[in-house]
């Protein structure tokens, strides 16, 4: 193949050696593949490795991505059930975990997913000791701590997705209520990802629109949104808070 290439093409300048930004995604479920596609579409990585215990599904997902490489920036895409393929990754994204059963809380998942992590995290660190670990599996805040303890890495190199998804939902809902682009709307859902998230001190909008301490405009109304329910002593979910605050802002 090399000799045929040399016959068909003249070398004008010597090819340059480019460092590759290698990213590993563990778990090829819906979330894992969404992460992989996003990495490729945004040109974040030029070398992607997929890891999963289900070999057949893993191969199929790898082929789907490989067949679409004509539309992205020449990435190298590989997949394996062996963690040796992940060697020298810059970032390892962990989306693998047990499925949440009907009626099961995120906290009920802790032990099952902790056992799964015991087979994942040490292997990632073994082959990529300098990598940053990004944890997405639920319950993400607890599993990020578990991953940190299992890895032995510095705390700044084990990161959880936290309430980024909750905040993105909030920004979208607020943008719909105010009829502005979500990119021009900034708000944050804070706390633990899940039912205990949602206490939001400030909302900021771009385009010279600035609202500080929205809750001060109607303190009782806002406190009824972010305070625990008396009957259950449990805070509202992030999605309920997002809708309630958006509705409140629209009518001010």
Res 71: pLDDT: 86
* pLDDT at residue 194, rounded to an integer: 64
Q: How far apart are CA 185 and CA 195, in angstroms?
A: 23
The pLDDT value recorded for residue 33 is 95
Tell me which H or E stretch contains 23.
Answer: strand 22-26
Q: Is 248 among the catalytic positions?
A: no
Pairing type for strands 203-205 and 210-211 reads antiparallel
| Active-site option among 193, 208, 248, 251 | 193
User: What integer pLDDT is reported at residue 160 of this predicted model?
Assistant: 92
Q: Three-class SS of residue 116? A: helix
CA dihedral 155, 159, 162, 168 (to 10 degrees): 140
**pLDDT for position 225:** 39
Sheet arrangement for strand 185-187: 185-187, 203-205, 210-211
pLDDT mean values, one per 10 residues, the chain (252 residues): 74 61 95 93 92 96 93 90 97 92 79 95 98 93 95 95 83 81 81 61 41 42 39 41 44 44
């Amino acid at each position: 193949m090399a000799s045929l290439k040399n016959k068909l093409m003249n070398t004008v300048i010597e090819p340059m050696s480019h460092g590759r930004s290698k990213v590993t995604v563990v778990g090829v479920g819906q979330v894992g593949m969404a992460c992989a596609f996003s990495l490729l579409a945004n040109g974040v990585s030029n070398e992607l490795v997929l890891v999963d215990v289900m070999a057949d599904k893993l191969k199929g997902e790898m082929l789907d991505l490989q067949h679409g490489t004509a539309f992205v920036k020449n990435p190298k895409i590989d997949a394996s059930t062996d963690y040796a393929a992940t060697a020298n990754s810059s970032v390892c994204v962990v989306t693998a975990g047990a499925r949440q059963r009907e009626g099961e809380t995120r906290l009920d998942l802790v032990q099952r997913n902790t056992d799964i992590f015991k087979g994942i995290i040490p292997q990632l660190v073994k082959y990529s000791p300098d990598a940053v670990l990004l944890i997405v599996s639920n319950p993400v805040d607890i599993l990020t701590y578990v991953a940190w303890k299992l890895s032995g890495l510095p705390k700044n190199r084990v990161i959880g997705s936290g309430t980024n998804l909750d905040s993105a939902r909030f920004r979208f809902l607020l943008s719909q209520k105010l009829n502005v682009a979500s990119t021009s709307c900034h708000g944050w859902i804070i706390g633990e990802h899940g039912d205990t998230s949602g206490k939001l001190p400030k909302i900021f909008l771009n385009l010279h629109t600035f609202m500080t301490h929205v809750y001060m405009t109607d303190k009782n109304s806002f406190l009824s949104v972010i305070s625990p329910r008396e009957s259950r002593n449990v805070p509202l979910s992030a999605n309920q808070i997002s809708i309630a605050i958006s509705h409140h802002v629209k009518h001010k």
